[in-house]
Amino acid sequence: EGKNDYDFLPKDHPEYIKYIERTCANPKDEFKKKSCDNPNPTDWTASKVDLKIQQIKKVFEQRKRDGGSYPDMLALTEIENYSVAQRLAQALGYENVLITKGPDKRGINVALLYKQNSAFQALGSQEIHVPTELEHPTRPILEVSFKLNNGQHLYVYVNHWPAQLAPTSEPRMVAAKALKEAILKRKKQNPNAFILATGDFNTIDQDAPHPFNDSLLMPNPYVILKDVQSAYALHYVKEFNSRMKAFPRGTYFFGRKQEWINL
């Protein structure tokens, strides 16, 4: 309720029909016009949601067949609501689900799934508000604190920063500042705490000012995994026919010029 997620309804749903009638009576931009010419091409029925969850599960099952295991924690972006996050968690065997309730009207949230584990214990979570000047409010950052079995603490931050559609990098600078302030606050409380920041940062090398180089990484106590990931990709490019096809697309896909930054 209260979210503009009509495109994720079945096309014959009464609320979706009302939405199309209301929107297409006077479409305000080219995007809306195209939507009206071909309304709801995906037709999100319950069976399609089940299929998507099973397809995600197949990716994880492949990892197990290759000798790996499910991660203890799984950070997610663009999750519509708690209900679908919980259904995915149940399919993958995660007992715990944390999700933000952000102001994005499209129902785009971030979430963290994690297992009951003797190696760590969850202590709590909070949403970190990211104030921006955008027309549409952006997603909050999800902070989850854990106590490891050796007594040390781990803070996990799940991010989904403002997109490159924004005319400048300033909204991402605001998000970087919010994340940095949260991290520094925790490090002040516990200098030995471990920090893991993950998610979709929507940041490229050409951003100026740069959210990492000009904000988050000043001073620089962190490690960017971009170089590690690029080396990983290069290794498998050399063995494309024998190895690459065994990996799901997201594992080795990079933007043009390898410019997207991954932490």
Residue 44 and residue 10 in contact, taking contact as beta carbons nearer than 8 Å? yes
Instruction: Please say if the pLDDT value at position 18 is more than 70.
Output: yes
Work out the mean pLDDT of the chain and round it to a whole number: 81
R_g (Cα) of the chain, nearest Å: 20
Backbone angles phi, psi at 66, to 5 degrees: -85, 10
For 34-64, write each residue's pLDDT tens digit: 777 777 777 888 899 999 999 999 988 887 7
Partners of residue 198 on adjacent β-strands: 158
Q: Chain-centre distance of CA 152, in angstroms?
A: 26
Which residue is it, tokens 């991290």?
183
Residue 115 and residue 72 in contact, taking contact as beta carbons nearer than 8 Å? yes
Q: Which of 6-20, 119-133, 206-220 has the lowest mean pLDDT?
A: 206-220
67-90 burial: b if 16+ Cβ within 10 Å, else e: eeeeeebbbbbebbebebbbebbe
Task: Give the N- to C-terminal CA distance of the chain in Å, as an integer.
Answer: 34
Q: Which helix (H) or strand (E) holds 143?
A: strand 141-148
Q: How many Å apart are CA 162 and CA 140, to the nearest integer?
A: 10
Residue 158 and residue 75 in contact, taking contact as beta carbons nearer than 8 Å? yes
For 215-255, write each residue's pLDDT tens digit: 887 665 555 554 444 444 444 444 444 444 444 444 444 45
For the entire predicted model, the pTM comes to 0.80
**Which tokens belong to 158?**
């799940």
